[in-house]
Amino acid sequence: MYTLNKSTQAELNRVQAIIKKELASEKIIQEIYEYIFNAEGKKTRALLCLLASKSRHIKPTNRINLASIIELLHTATLVHDDVVDESDLRRGTKSVNQVWTNSYSVLMGDFIYSKAFILMVKLEISTILDELAKATNDIAKGEIIQLELFEKKQLVQLKDLLKVSYLKTGRLFEASAKTGAILANRSNKEIKTFGLLGKAWGTAFQIQDDILDYEALKKLDTGKPAMKDYKEGKITFPLFFALQNAKPKDRKFIMENLGRTKISKKDQNKIYQLIHNNKTQQNINALLEKYTKESQRHLNNLRHLPCYNEMLDLIMFSKIRKI
Amino acid sequence: MYTLNKSTQAELNRVQAIIKKELASEKIIQEIYEYIFNAEGKKTRALLCLLASKSRHIKPTNRINLASIIELLHTATLVHDDVVDESDLRRGTKSVNQVWTNSYSVLMGDFIYSKAFILMVKLEISTILDELAKATNDIAKGEIIQLELFEKKQLVQLKDLLKVSYLKTGRLFEASAKTGAILANRSNKEIKTFGLLGKAWGTAFQIQDDILDYEALKKLDTGKPAMKDYKEGKITFPLFFALQNAKPKDRKFIMENLGRTKISKKDQNKIYQLIHNNKTQQNINALLEKYTKESQRHLNNLRHLPCYNEMLDLIMFSKIRKI
């Protein structure tokens, strides 16, 4: 596991404390809320925001608040995604829709979203509000496009996958970095660079997420069930390349089983092998490398900032992370 | 049907036009979005906001925008409610979850919510942002409390029903009136009065909604299926009084059938008769009258404002409306 800089870890702990404090007085809401936030996520987006906003001239309180807002927004999308994907697990424990019902998930997602907006208004920085409202809208847009993309159960194009990855993942990374930089009163050029860094890193992060979904087969503890994407009928980056490189017979096999919730061990292994075809592994690693490099390239223009070293470490770790 | 003042109707038409303009470039989102907003609602909350913001000194554009934001927020809650309630019909046509799926409803709700927040940020009035973010949060809270309240299938108290009605309906009426008054630069005292008027009227509106749910049995065209609340297992105001006034045997009958989706014509009629018990009708009408009077009482303190007459007409019409 990656070890954070001590002071950054302390800040991230404060984010968790802020989030947990945002309880409602109603018992049922408390119960679900605590359940959701007891299962701690990696808080990558909050971390990105904390680093982007690092500055000697800015009150830590506002930075922690902004990072908490971003973590709340992200969690709200996860709670809704679990309904969309009919997921059983989230962050290694049962998802809200499993413990309670879909209805509770829909409403708790709304509760957490609006909680984030309440906290956002308190910051009183309209450019931050604007960016986060737009990012939230884009995430929903990305999820809808993804839903339609995979409904037809047909081959997709790389540009579609990249668009969806940007909207559903890259966009909030972008917003986290940009709003952090806005809070720290960075120049317009720096804010833009942070945005581009976040966008590229978010895409790399999604690619690694997609890779890990297939690795869960090998019993690595990712907190997610094995081949979840495949069983949900989603063509992700690794499967896209596997389809491209597979023989017609294997391609047919992949497409026929795509979206089946029950797949035999033998068939799962076959798909795993097709993903681990040399060419496919080269393709997927090259794509991951491309976006990692791109985010590093933008980071290079931020060498003068206090977050540089930590940010570089994080980006480098992100592409080899196992959870 | 109620006929609005010509200029107010023109403004309401502009609200509809603004909403319809807020399309995304993606075809699937356009399609669902247009489907949702082609079925026009009554726009009572938008109307309340338009009236509360009426002032010679305020640009109509901002008033129309604020009313559109409120209508978007309200519609987002409806789209999510349809998932929660597993509804088939909404505003007289099939609900989104019926034409598409629950997943699309969850995500389109999020899309519309965040669209509303994007437009809100543009207004650049932080007290309005704050009020609407808090109202959105309270609506979700009210829906969650309602969900839990009726899960246990047991008798409830009037104070619980009033709390839920306030949060899920009164709260947005309150916010519509308050933010309208804020936009029109009204005094703090007037803003407060508008809030109280909206809160009381919203509760009256919900009571009439609950009454109409049972009237749909008599084939009045409410755009809603008959006894929807009862079939969803919800004890609403009319049923609350019916339970209170029923003989033990009838009370048992009501509770045993509550939440059944299929109820015979004969049993439906029996429940209808229990609702139409004299005492029950007296109770429900008295409650409706109480909250209507309360909103009128607050309105009386706003006699000096240009919206007075139209607002009074609307409140009086609201309690006898059939849809």
| Per-residue model confidence as pLDDT tens digits over B29-58 | 888 888 888 877 889 999 999 999 999 888
Can you give the residue ranges of every domain in chain B?
6-318
Residue B212 pLDDT: 92
CB proximity B134 to A under 8 Å: yes
CB proximity B31 to A under 8 Å: no
Q: How far away is chain B from the Cα of A119, in angstroms, using its nearest Cα?
A: 9
Residue A140 pLDDT: 96
d(CA A62, CA A50) in angstroms, rounded, equals: 10
CA neighbor of B136 nearest in space, from B209, B197, B85, B74: B74
pLDDT band at B180 (very low <50, low <70, confident <90, very high): very high
Query: Which of A28, A124, A145 lies closest to B126 in CB terms?
Result: A124
Q: What is the DSSP string of B235-286?
A: --HHHHHHHHHS-HHHHHHHHHHTT-S---HHHHHHHHHHHT-HHHHHHHHH
In the numeric block, which tokens belong to residue B137? 């949060």
Tens of pLDDT along B299-310? 999 999 999 999
CA neighbor of B107 nearest in space, from A167, A84, A157: A84
Judged by CB atoms closer than 8 Å, whether chains meet at B108 and A145 is answered as: no
Helix (H, G, I), strand (E, B) or coil at A309: helix
The predicted model gives B83-108 an average pLDDT of 84
Q: Return the higher-pLDDT residue of B243 and A8.
A: B243
First to last CA, chain B: 9
In the stretch 214-273 of chain B, residues with CB closer than 8 A to chain A read: none
Q: How far away is chain A from the Cα of B277, in angstroms, using its nearest Cα?
A: 34
On whether the CB atoms of residues A64 and A18 are closer than 8 A, the answer is yes
d(CA B287, CA B293) in angstroms, rounded, equals: 10
CB proximity B124 to A under 8 Å: yes
pLDDT band at B20 (very low <50, low <70, confident <90, very high): confident
Q: How far away is chain B from the Cα of A313, in angstroms, using its nearest Cα?
A: 33
In the numeric block, which tokens belong to residue A20? 């947990």
pTM value?
0.94
Residue B223 pLDDT: 56
Residue A176 pLDDT: 98
Judged by CB atoms closer than 8 Å, whether chains meet at B140 and A26 is answered as: no
Q: How far away is chain B from the Cα of A180, in angstroms, using its nearest Cα?
A: 18
The predicted model gives B74-91 an average pLDDT of 86
Answer whether residue B312 shows pLDDT above 70.
yes
- The CATH code for residues B6-318 is 1.10.600.10
Residue A131 pLDDT: 98
User: What single-letter DSSP state applies at residue B170?
Assistant: I
In the stretch 144-183 of chain A, residues with CB closer than 8 A to chain B read: 144-145, 147-148
Judged by CB atoms closer than 8 Å, whether chains meet at A134 and B118 is answered as: yes
Query: Which of B24, B83, B141 lies closest to A141 in CB terms?
Result: B24
In the numeric block, which tokens belong to residue A198? 């976040």
CB contacts of B115 in chain A (<8 Å) are 137
Q: How far away is chain A from the Cα of B156, in angstroms, using its nearest Cα?
A: 16
Residue B1 pLDDT: 58
Beta-strand (E) ranges in chain A? 89-90, 93-94
**Closest-CA residue of chain A to B82:** A103
The predicted model gives B19-36 an average pLDDT of 84
Residue B248 pLDDT: 96
Q: How far away is chain A from the Cα of B297, in angstroms, using its nearest Cα?
A: 31
d(CA B122, CA A320) in angstroms, rounded, equals: 41
Report how many Cβ contacts below 8 Å link chain A to chain B.
132
Residue B323 pLDDT: 75
Question: What's the whole-number average pLDDT of chain B?
Answer: 91
Residue B127 pLDDT: 97
**Torsion angle (degrees, nearest 10) of CA B301, B304, B306, B307:** 10
Radius of gyration of chain B (CA): 20
In the numeric block, which tokens belong to residue B179? 């933010």
Answer whether residue B238 shows pLDDT above 60.
yes
Residue A178 pLDDT: 98
On whether the CB atoms of residues A49 and A67 are closer than 8 A, the answer is yes
**Mean pLDDT, consecutive 10-residue segments, chain A of 323 residues?**
82 90 82 83 92 90 95 94 81 80 93 96 96 97 93 88 97 98 97 98 96 77 72 94 96 94 90 94 97 97 95 90 79
The count of other CB atoms within 10 Å of the CB of residue A256 is 11
Query: Which of A109, A120, A148 lies closest to B28 in CB terms?
Result: A148
pLDDT band at B224 (very low <50, low <70, confident <90, very high): low
Residue A155 CA, distance from chain mean position: 24
